[in-house]
Structure 1
Amino acid sequence: MTQKEIKKFYDTHYRRLFNASYRIVGNGADAEEIMHDTLLRFLQMEDPPAEPAQVSAWLIRTCIRRSIDRLRVIKRERIFKDSYEEPESLSAEESTEIALSTKKEVKRVKEALETMKDPYRLVLTLSLFEGMDYQEIAQITGQKEVTIRSQVSRGKATLLKILQQ
C-alpha cells in the first residue's frame, strides 16, 4: 500500500475502532493504543481479506478482542497493586474521559454503562453500540449464546434502573 492508501484506510476505520475500544476499556489512551495496534496488525498481514465487509469485520473483532485482553491485564495489575500498596496510595484515581458524542441521551447511556460490571458492560456495548447479534458476541467472548442472551437481558434491566434514577 502507498502512503496515500494507508492514510485513506486509516481515515476510514480509525474512529469506529477507537469508539469500540473506548467503550470497552474506558480509557482514551488505551483505546488509541489498541486501535493503532489493530490497524498495524492488519497492514502487516500477508494475506488480508479482500472484501470491504470482511476487512471491517476482521478489524472490529480484533479490536474488541484486544480490548478485552487489555481489561484482563488491567484487572490483574489492579489485583497485584491492591495486594502490595499501602492504603494511603490508593486514594488517587484516574478521571474518566469526556464522552465523544454530543447527544445527551447517548452520553447518559454511556455513563450508565461505565458504572456497570464488566460482563454486562461488554455485551451491552457490543449489542447496542456495535450492532452485533448474540452469536457474534458469543464468538468474540468465548461464551455460549444462551449466556450472552441472559447477560444482555439482565444488563438492559440494570441499565434501565440506572437511567431511571
Structure 2
Amino acid sequence: MSQSITVSWSTVDANFPEASVQVDKLSNHDLILRCQVGLRPDRAAFAELLRRYQSQVDRVLYHLAPDWADRADLAQEVWIRVYRNINRLQEPSKFRGWLSRIATNLFYDELRKRKRVVSPLSLDAPRSVDDGEMDWEIAGDTPGPEEELTTREFYEQLREAIADLPEVFRTTIVLREIEGLAYEEIAEITGVSLGTVKSRIARARSRLQAQLQNYLDA
C-alpha cells in the first residue's frame, strides 16, 4: 500500500546519549516512558519508537492523501512534533491515539492551506448513507464525465466538511470511515469509552450528512 517513510535525525535535536538499555526489548509502555526521560528523548529510544509506530503514521496519511507527492514531508513533521512534545503525554497507553491525532490534524492544517488538492478518498465511491454507515466502497460502473465532475465536487465538499469538524469528531470519523477501524479499536486508541466513540461518530456523520445532503439526494 504505502511505503515506509524514513525520518532523518538532522531534523531533530538528537544530542543526547544512547540508551544504556536494550530499547528493542522494552514494552511499548516502557519505551514511551523512556522517551519521556529528560528534556528530549534519547536517540536510541526515539529511533525504536519511530520503528514501531511509523507504519501507523504511513497508514493514516496514505488514506488521507494517497496522491500527495509531499506526504513524506508531512510524516516528517508528525515525528518532529512527537519528538518535541512527547513529554506532554500524560498516559503512555494513549500514545497511539495521540499519534493519530497529530497526523490527522497536520493533514487538515495543510489541506486548509491548499487551494486545490487531490481527493484523499476514492472518486469511484458511491455517495450513500445506509443505516448511519457512510459507504466508501468502489462502484462497479465507470462514471461518465458529468458524473465524475459531480463526484469530484462532492469529495471537495466532503474534505472541507471533515476539516471543519471539531477535533474529537474529526479524529473518530477518520479512524472509522477512512482507516476502517472497529469501534472498540477507536476507543482503545483515543482513550475514551465505547459509548463516547459511538456518540462522536454518530454526531460527526449527522453533521456531514446535513452539509452534503444536496449531493446525497442527487
Which TM-score applies when normalising by structure 1?
Answer: 0.53
Give the equivalent residue in structure 2 for 1:43: 83
* Partner Cα separation in structure 1 for residue 105 and residue 162 of structure 2: 15
When you count helix as a share of all residues, which structure comes out higher? 1
Partners of 2:64 and 2:178 within 8 A in 1: no
Cα distance change of structure 1 residues 37 and 25 upon mapping to structure 2, 3 Å threshold: same
* Partner Cα separation in structure 2 for residue 2 and residue 47 of structure 1: 12
Q: Which amino acid aligns with 2:65?
A: V
Aligned length: 128
Segments of 5+ residues of structure 2 without an aligned counterpart are: 1-40, 121-135, 140-150, 164-169, 187-196, 211-218
Give the structure, 1 or 2, with the largest relative contact order (CA under 8 Å, sep 6 or more).
1
Does 1:150 pair with 2:199?
no
Give the equivalent residue in structure 2 for 1:127: 176
* Alpha-carbon displacement from aligned partner over 1:117-146 (angstroms, at most 9, x marks no partner): 415777664323443436556xxxxxxx63
Q: Which piece of structure 1 moves more, 14-23 or 27-36? A: 27-36
Segments of 5+ residues of structure 1 without an aligned counterpart are: 79-92, 97-105, 138-144, 155-165
Does 1:26 pair with 2:66?
yes
Give the equivalent residue in structure 2 for 1:70: 110
Q: Which amino acid aligns with 1:6?
A: F
Percentage of identical aligned residues: 16
Q: Which amino acid aligns with 1:39?
A: W
Structure 2 residue corresponding to 1:12, chosen from 52, 73, 89: 52
What's the C-alpha RMSD, in Å, of the aligned pairs?
Answer: 4.5
* Partner Cα separation in structure 1 for residue 92 and residue 86 of structure 2: 17
Which TM-score applies when normalising by structure 2?
Answer: 0.42
